[in-house]
Amino acid sequence: MTELPGVYRFFDQSNHILYVGKAKNLKKRVSSYFQRTQLSPRIERMVQKIARMETTATRTETEALILENNLIKALAPPFNILFRDDKSYPYLMITGHTFPRIASYRGKVDKKNKYFGPFPNSWAVKSSVQILQKVFLLRTCEDTVFKNRSRPCLLHQIHRCSAPCVGLVSTSQYQEDVGKAVSFLAGNHASVMKDLEKSMLAFSDALEFEKAASVRDRITDLSNVLQQQSMDAVADGQNNIDIIAVAEQHGHICVNLAMVRGGRHLGDRPYFPIVVRNDTGAASEISEYLLSFMVQRYLDDVDLSDGSDLQKLVPTVFVMSHPLGDDEGLLIKSLEERLGKKVQFITHPQGQRKHWLTMAQGNAQIALAKRISERSGAQARTIALMELLQLDIDDSELFRVECFDISHTSGEATQASCVVYQKNDMQNKEYRRFNIEGITPGDDYAAMRQVLERRYANFLELPEDKIPHVILVDGGKGQVEAAKMVLNELGVDNRLIVGVAKGDGRKVGLETLIFADDRAPLLLGVDNIALMLVAQIRDEAHRFAITGMRAKRQKTRNVSRLEEIEGIGAKRRQKLLSRFGGIKGVAGATIEELSQVEGISQSLAEQIYKQLH
């Protein structure tokens, strides 16, 4: 085996991935697993399962670290410390329009617009947008609305917008306000205050007292915001900082991330690692969890060479509750190479940074206590359902339920949903929707047969951890019989099937469980905690099905409305959908934008606009 740096992967006898690791020296690192006698319980359990391994050599240890992170996210090995891959952080976006718009944004950033953040949650973005509206009077309306305004909207009347849509503010003045907003978001609060004060004095000297009073009010609002945010530390240059605190309790771990952007504390968000259950209840070294979080959070596979604002959004100062251990230098080097700028790790902060870290640690403890409480309650419901169904499963986290529901409107836009419950929680990433076609509209039994045939066509080839212990179907005897027929044809044990029949008035607590074998139906009662879990899973399947059905129905109806317009044939319809990315984009386009599509005249564009509005 090579002594180069690289990444190694362990597999079990069924060829399922167990673990991904990095090494400075692959030969020494891999051999250490089989020579050491004092392994952590988690790693010891893993070593017992190893059947084979693979290695990938890299040029540097930094490349190995990045490759390890990418493989962990892609393969989700059960023995790695894996945090949920949450890429839904919202940003505050200022568009590249002549009169820029401010808005919350999620997704990939580009060069056209300016971005600030990321923010820990949508509430933090909303708060910042409100500040920019109140102090700098920037618009929030969509471009399609902006282009078609003939008079100021309500936001102008309540002094939240300068109404550039109808020319009540000049381009230069609006751009100046945008510049001040950008400076504020970057943390240059003092210079923004000075500029506003100069404007107020200039208006006052020119005897334009109404304008001076308006600027005075904006200064007052901005002062109140800064006081509420405790901005006494901004003068020290503490603009963009991430504060990361780790809390441990009874073998459970929480990593809490607090964000400071432009000197403003925007709030925090807790993260909980997904790891193999440790029979001893002991936690791994906190530094290992912290390092895993840092790598997965900041060394994602993102191209930073395109000149976008993303580099500016990643902070260079990290305040942490615990040291990172031996790999701290490697992580710093990797971050600096990735970002092209110096990075600083601080574990013993002073002043305002110390106060922020104390807050983050307190919030981590609170979030962890809440998590433990919620998980213990969920575990109790899971165990109660397993006992009720007489299932002999050693670990409640292995118990898997898949639930199906059918949704349509009088046979239109039929969709089936499949939701998954495992590890004492709903597994959102494993949800699936199925478009049901080729059946008599409104035939729920045929729809149920079709979705089960498609879902379990390869049932016998599923990995052990993906085989459901219970298949819930929303319905009574008819739905259960339809499901039973499918599973019999596939050679699958039909005792997995449990129907959830609604009671009188469809009231929660009156449901009856219907079985596919000879067991008698069960009426559990409203206080039964096992029924609470069944109802939760069933309701989630219903929600997921009905939202998909509504979206499909609306899309179908909108396309139909487009087809009904005289002069719109298949070719023009396809050009419109391709140009605007779908019917939603067509509906959001202006008459001018529609007329720019090949084959769409001005009059036809007007017809399309009227039809879709």
pLDDT band at residue 311, thresholds of 50, 70 and 90? low
Q: Which domains are delineated in the chain?
A: 6-75 (3.40.1440.10), 91-236 (no CATH), 241-369 (3.30.420), 396-553 (3.30.420.340), 564-611 (1.10.150.20)
Q: Tell me the pLDDT tens digit for each residue of 240-259.
A: 889 999 988 877 888 999 88
Q: How far is CA 449 from CA 437, 474, 541, 608, in A?
A: 12, 13, 17, 40
How many angstroms separate the CA atoms of 332 and 479, rounded? 58
| Mean local confidence (pLDDT), 24-43 | 80
What is the rounded CA–CA span in Å between residue 52 and residue 445? 46
Question: What is the chain's alpha carbon radius of gyration, rounded to the nearest angstrom?
Answer: 29
Indicate the burial class of 145 (C-beta count within 10 angstroms; 0-12, 13-18, 19 or more): middle
Taking the alpha carbons at both ends of the chain, their separation in whole angstroms is 67
What value, to the nearest 5°, has the Cα angle with vertex 201 and ends 199 and 205? 120
> How far, CA to CA in Å, does 364 sit from each of 217, 293, 325, 410, 575?
38, 14, 21, 49, 52
**Is pLDDT of 470 > 90?**
yes
d(CA 379, CA 384) in angstroms, rounded, equals 9
Per residue in 152-167, pLDDT (tens digit) is: 888 888 888 989 998 8
Residue type, 259: M
- The model's pTM: 0.60
Q: What is the pLDDT of residue 451?
A: 92
Instruction: Give the pLDDT of residue 404.
Output: 94
What would the two tokens of residue 264 be? 């403003």
Among 185, 190, 191, CA closest to 116: 185
Over residues 203-231, mean pLDDT: 66
What integer is the mean pLDDT of 65-94?
79
Nearby residues of 383 by Cβ (< 8 Å), 6 or more positions away: 396
DSSP type of residue 470: E
Look at residues 89, 398, 137, 6 and name the one whose alpha carbon lies nearest to residue 268: 89
Pairwise CA distance, residues 502 & 496, whole Å: 19
Residue 298 pLDDT: 83
Handedness of CA 112, 113, 118, 123 (dihedral sign): negative
- Among 228, 92, 221, smallest CA distance to 159 is for 221
Least confident of 120-129, 384-393, 510-519: 120-129
Distance CA 537, CA 543 (A): 10
Distance CA 496, CA 390 (A): 12
CA distance 106 to 108: 7
> According to the model, what pLDDT value does residue 357 have?
92
Pairing of strands 470-474, 497-501: parallel
For 106-159, how does the pLDDT look when each residue is reduced to its tens digit (9 = 90+)?
777 777 888 887 777 777 788 788 878 888 888 988 888 888 888 888 888 888
Mean pLDDT computed over 310-319:
73
